[in-house]
Amino acid sequence: MRELQPIEFYFEFASPYGYFASVRVDRIAKKHGRTVLWRPIMLGVALNATGSKPNVLVPMKGEYFKRDIARCAKVMNLPFTLPKKMPMNSLSASRAFYWVNEQDTCKAKEFAAAIYHEHWGLGNDMSDIDDVARVAGAIEIDGEKLKAGCQSQMIKDKLRDITMASVDAGVFGSPFIIADEEQFWGHDRLSLLDQWLDAGHW
Amino acid sequence: MRELQPIEFYFEFASPYGYFASVRVDRIAKKHGRTVLWRPIMLGVALNATGSKPNVLVPMKGEYFKRDIARCAKVMNLPFTLPKKMPMNSLSASRAFYWVNEQDTCKAKEFAAAIYHEHWGLGNDMSDIDDVARVAGAIEIDGEKLKAGCQSQMIKDKLRDITMASVDAGVFGSPFIIADEEQFWGHDRLSLLDQWLDAGHW
């Protein structure tokens, strides 16, 4: 029997659809006995590669997007507040994720959930490392150590390398899930992921 | 009791997700006692307005898109063949739709379904008016009259006017559905449309 690789879950903290996927992806994977690697990325790099812009900045689409994310949250029964600043700068939150992840991958998921809740659930800007450290502190992560960790070259390289590798792997949006080389873009493809994990073919 | 307006279903014949929506939208509307106005548009006009390009021409996204539409069709159990030419030029098919629609709105839906089947089900290019007329002929529409009708200024204006008005109404993709001023972009939002028609609020 071949060994199954973990499912790769790429997401951008500034992406609300990433938030929507984050609350469901592990549960879907678990149903099929699979694990999930969480990988925050700087989506701007991929958007540049495809000549795209963040949804919120695209004419017409931006207005639609704001309504769509509010109703998707409502239908999923998730806390949601439209942030005043969109898109936020996710550099600090993403680096912090990888710093936590080096020590404890479960804690890193908890941290990501806390950042998503703060930004998309409560609408607070999470661009500033001090705010990131505060949210980390509330789930018993040492904020000062986290801030120092985010400045290390190893962590900076980690985020940059994973982001560049994600573009090479074909990631151009958030959320973006790769399972057994099959790609799923958008939280609205999670039911397809579920079917894929069940059957292994279409 | 207020009179309910018809649901507006905007689509581009060159859009596979428009094809996927076209086979379901009337059924969903009917469940809620609603009718649907079908409105093919020249999506390129809206894409220009938002600085976008057809999916198939976007780096990275293009490859993903080809796989995604094939598996969506499979999951929906719909005939599907990737057309050699993408995106096709839908000008003739769209004009022909409005010409048929002037005489018989039901027949126009049948015509649209036939074009979608020929292009996305069988993979044949439908850019040429002679091919459009042939497909129309197979469902007992007079191909020669249709070709003449497509050359009339009234029909040309109709397609242009509806396309321009759709951009003003916020349409930037295909399929795009407007029900009671609520907008739905993508066949993956049809379940939301269903919920909306059921409850009238989120």
Name the DSSP class of A55: G
The 10s digit of each residue's pLDDT in B153-201 is 999 999 999 999 999 999 999 999 999 999 999 999 999 999 999 999 9
pTM of this structure:
0.95
The whole-number average pLDDT for the span B107-124 is 98
d(CA B53, CA B37): 26
d(CA B158, CA B162): 6
Backbone angles phi, psi at B67, to 5 degrees: -70, -40
| Tokens at B16, concatenated | 């596979």
Q: Is the model's pLDDT at B144 over the cut of 90?
A: yes
Report the residue from B53, B70, B170 with minimal CB separation from A60: B170
Residue-level pLDDT at A158 = 98
**Residue whose C-alpha is closest to residue B64's, from A167, A39, A32:** A167
Report the residue from B50, B63, B71 with minimal CB separation from A192: B71
Would you call B192 and A60 a contact, using CB atoms and an 8 Å cutoff?
A: no
pLDDT tens over chain A, length 202 residues? 567 899 999 999 999 999 999 999 999 999 999 999 999 999 999 899 888 899 999 999 999 999 999 999 999 999 999 999 999 999 999 999 999 999 999 999 999 999 999 999 999 999 999 999 999 999 999 999 999 999 999 999 999 999 999 999 999 999 999 999 999 999 999 999 999 999 998 9
d(CA B61, CA B77): 24
Report the residue from B61, B170, B188 with minimal CB separation from A172: B61
- Domain boundaries of chain B, sorted by first residue: 7-199
Residue-level pLDDT at B23 = 98
Q: Is the model's pLDDT at B24 over the cut of 80?
A: yes
d(CA B18, CA B94): 13
- Distance set, CA A197 to CA A93, A100, B4 (Å): 30, 29, 42
The 10s digit of each residue's pLDDT in B4-21 is 899 999 999 999 999 999
Would you call A170 and B49 a contact, using CB atoms and an 8 Å cutoff?
A: no
d(CA A159, CA A143): 19
Question: What mean pLDDT is reported for chain B?
Answer: 96
Q: Is the model's pLDDT at B29 over the cut of 80?
A: yes
Interface of A with B (CB under 8 A): 46, 49-53, 58-61, 63-64, 67-68, 70-72, 74-75, 167, 170, 172-173, 182-183, 185-186, 188-189, 192, 195, 202
**Residue whose C-alpha is closest to residue B73's, from B116, B29, B37:** B116
Q: Is the model's pLDDT at B3 over the cut of 80?
A: no
Chain B residues touching A63 at Cβ < 8 A: 170
Residue environment code for A161-170, b if the CB has 16+ CB neighbours within 10 A, otherwise e: ebbeebbeeb
d(CA B194, CA A56): 26
- Residue B2 CB coordination number (10 Å): 5
Chain B residues touching A70 at Cβ < 8 A: 202
d(CA A25, CA A32): 11
Residue-level pLDDT at A2 = 61
**Residue whose C-alpha is closest to residue B68's, from A202, A62, A78:** A202
| Tokens at A115, concatenated | 């950042």
The label of the residue with tokens 């998921």 reads: A109
List, as one string, the DSSP characters of B125-148. Answer: ---SHHHHHHHHHTTT--HHHHHH
| Superfamily (CATH H level) for B7-199 | Glutaredoxin (3.40.30.10)
What is the ipTM metric for this complex? 0.93
Q: Where are the alpha helices (DSSP H) in B37-83?
A: 43-50, 61-76
d(CA B141, CA A37): 56
Backbone angles phi, psi at B174, to 5 degrees: -140, 130
